[in-house]
Every structure is written in structure tokens, then in C-alpha cells.
A and B are shown apart, each in its own frame.
Chain A
């Protein structure tokens, strides 16, 4: 199975900050990497698919990059509604696997 890791596990940031979350796969997954945002008590929401494609309706301050084993989610200017947990997930092969999550807290 492909193992996914994320760093950091949590971070504290202020509104307006640029935030970067890293995700690494244990083997190459091309660009089959997706990012989700989850708020407490809610279902996750797809932000980015295929490493760098913004899902319809997602604000343009979110962007994704990377290929192979190393990927990044960037929030260019953090907004109050962005405080949440972010998960990366490989959709390259079954079993699909998620990273452990990165919690973005208010500083």
C-alpha cells in the first residue's frame, strides 16, 4: 500500500498569512494527488484534484503543485473560513490512502 505523510501535523497562522502544507507519497503516484478540507463535524470537501487542478467553486487562493512523490498545498492569503484540517490523498492505486491531516489553527 502507498503510505502518505504530511507536514506539519499542525500550524498556527494569522489571517492574511501564506500557508504551505507538504505531502509525500511512499512511492511515485504521478499527479494522482487530491487535497480535501474538513471542518469540525462536517464531511470533507474536495479542493484540488490531480495535484494542481482547482475544483469548481473553490477560491483561487488555494493552489496545489507537485508530481511523483512530493506535493504542496498553498493558501496564498489565509481567510477566517480556512481554519480547518487538510488531508492529502493518493488516487493512483487501490487501496486509496489519505495522509494523517494538517490542522490549521488561528494564531
Chain B
């Protein structure tokens, strides 16, 4: 059974840094496209970043240069390093897995979601 469990959220001052973790089970992080998606309180979903099996990474313009996505095969864990945090980064952050069916994969279709971790940026 696929499971994804986020951790690392909390209250942080503007300009601070935080690292989110997503422990995966039931699949191998290195073999799947994995993304972070966030949701500000009462707002819609926003895609943040993706890491592909080959290691390529992409970011939303709103976080480019401040956030870094990475993974650790030995721990089967996905990470999101968040620097220079702003009030507008306040959100629940979800780690999500791209959908694969047989040999066909849809990197931008998210079939498994973690429970989310809340990041609050405030002084």
C-alpha cells in the first residue's frame, strides 16, 4: 500500500528556513515523479515543485530560487528545503506521487497524497 507521510512544518518567522520531509512507503522515490503541492488557508491548490526519476527538477515561479526539492533513496524520503520564507508561503504542503498505469506514467497527475503539513510564516 502506498503511503506518504509529511513532517517538518511549523511556525517560522519571515526570512527563515524550514525543511519538509515526506517519508514514502509502498513504492521507491527514485522510480517515480514526485511533487509538492500547497494550499493556503481557504484557497485553491497550487503546484510547487517536481522531481523526475532521472533527477530533473522544476519549480513554480513563486518559489524558484528559494525552494529546493530533493530525495534520499536510502531513506526513501522526499524533501523540500524552503529558504527566505514569506508570509505568502503559509499553507498546508502536500507531497504527491505521479500516476503510473502499467508502462504509462502521467507525471502531473497525482494519485497519492500525504496528509499534509502546515507551514505558517509569521512574526
Contact = CB atoms under 8 A, between A and B. Distances in A.
A97 B62 CA distance: 13
A50 B108 contact: no
Interface stretch (A16-24, A59-67, A68-76, A87-95): A87-95
Interface stretch (B9-17, B72-80, B112-120): B112-120
Query: Taking chain B's interface residues, is the majority helix, strand, or loop, or is none over half, making it mixed?
Result: strand
A4 to B, nearest CB: 9
Interface residues of A, number: 25
8 contacts: A32-B108, A34-B108, A36-B45, A46-B110, A95-B47, A95-B61, A96-B50, A100-B44
Interface string B44-69: 11110010000000101100000000
A66 B94 CA distance: 28
Nearest to B62: A95
A49 B58 contact: no
Interface residues of B, number: 21
B109 interface: yes
Contact of A43 (B44, B61, B94, B106): B94
A92 to B, nearest CB: 7
Nearest to A44: B113
Nearest to B45: A98
B88 interface: no
Contact of B44 (A1, A50, A90, A98): A98
A38 B61 CA distance: 25
Contacts of A44: 45, 94, 110, 113
A30 interface: no
Nearest to A98: B45
A86 to B, nearest CB: 11
Contact of A95 (B58, B106, B110, B116): B58
B83 interface: no
A46 B111 contact: yes
